[in-house]
Amino acid sequence: MKKLFLAVALCLAAVQFAPAATIGTTFASGNSFAGNMFDVTNVSGGPVTILGTFRVNVSGDGPQTMDVYYRLGGYAGFESNAGDWTLLGSDTFTPMGVGVPSPIDAGNSFVIGAGETYGMYFDLSSYVSGGSQVNYTNGSDVLTDGVLQLTLGIGRGDPAFTGSIFNPRIWNGEIDYVQGAGAVPEPATWAMMGGALLGLAALRRKRA
C-alpha cells in the first residue's frame, strides 16, 4: 500500500499544474460566412499548451458542428492545402447567437514552442447559407497578452479549404491556454487527486 501511495504521489508531482488563461478578440460581428483562418504566435520564453477549448461567435439553429484545424508555420500560402493541416478536433454544439460566445471543445490540445507560429482554422462544417454561420468582423488586427499573439486574419467560405477567401477579416473568439508543455489547468489537480484517492480506497476494500 505504501508503495502504491508513493507511486501515485510521484505521478501527481510529475504533472504540471498551471493557471488557465484566455486570450480573446472582439465579438462585434458585422459580417459572416463559414469560418476563419488566423495565426497564433507564442511570444513568451517557454512552451504554451493550447487547451482545445474556445468560444466563437456563431449563430444559427442548433446543433451545429465546428471543425478546428492547426498547422505549424501559419496559414498564409496554405489556405487551400488541406493536407498541410491537422484536425485538432470537432465539436457539435448549440450556437448562442450573434455577438455571444459559443463554447467549442475540440477534445484535444497542442503545444506551441517559444517563438513558434501556428495557423488556426475554424470551419463551421454544418454551415448553411442564410442560416448557420460564423460571425466575424471586417478588417485586420494584432492582439497580444504578452504570452500569445493573434494575427487576424481571413474569412473563409464553404466548403472547407476550397471556399472563397475574404481578406482581411477578424476572427471573433477566445482561446484557452496554459503556460508549459503538457500542462493542465489547476482545477484538474483536485480531480486527479480525487481519482487517485478513489483508486487507493478501492484497492484497500479489495484487499480487505
CATH number at residue 118: 2.60.120
Within this chain, do residues 133 and 45 fall inside the same structural domain, yes or no? yes
186 vs 64, higher pLDDT = 64
Average pLDDT, the chain: 87
Name the residue among 158, 172, 170, 160 with its Cα closest to residue 67.
Answer: 160
Residue 83 per-residue DSSP state: G
Alpha-carbon span 197 to 28, nearest angstrom:
46
What confidence score (pLDDT) does residue 9 get? 47
Within this chain, do residues 4 and 82 fall inside the same structural domain, yes or no? no
3-state DSSP call for residue 199?
A: helix
Task: Give me the number of domains the chain comprises.
Answer: 2
- Mean pLDDT of the region 192-198: 48
Within this chain, do residues 204 and 177 fall inside the same structural domain, yes or no? no
Q: Is the pLDDT of residue 18 over 90?
A: no
Handedness of CA 85, 35, 104, 12 (dihedral sign): positive
In single-letter form, the type of residue at position 135 comes to: N
Q: Is the pLDDT of residue 200 over 50?
A: no
Q: Is the pLDDT of residue 170 over 80?
A: yes
Within this chain, do residues 130 and 194 fall inside the same structural domain, yes or no? no
Strand 117-124 to 64-72 pairing: antiparallel
Q: Hey, what's the cell of 172?
A: 471573433
What confidence score (pLDDT) does residue 130 get? 76
What confidence score (pLDDT) does residue 29 get? 98
Within this chain, do residues 48 and 37 fall inside the same structural domain, yes or no? yes
Q: Residue 15: which domain range? A: 1-19+186-208
Within this chain, do residues 8 and 53 fall inside the same structural domain, yes or no? no
What confidence score (pLDDT) does residue 186 get? 56
3-state DSSP call for residue 181?
A: coil
What confidence score (pLDDT) does residue 128 get? 87
Q: Hey, what's the cell of 28?
A: 462585434
Within this chain, do residues 172 and 70 fall inside the same structural domain, yes or no? yes
Instruction: Tell me the sheet residues that pair with 174.
Output: 24, 55
Alpha-carbon span 58 to 67, nearest angstrom:
13
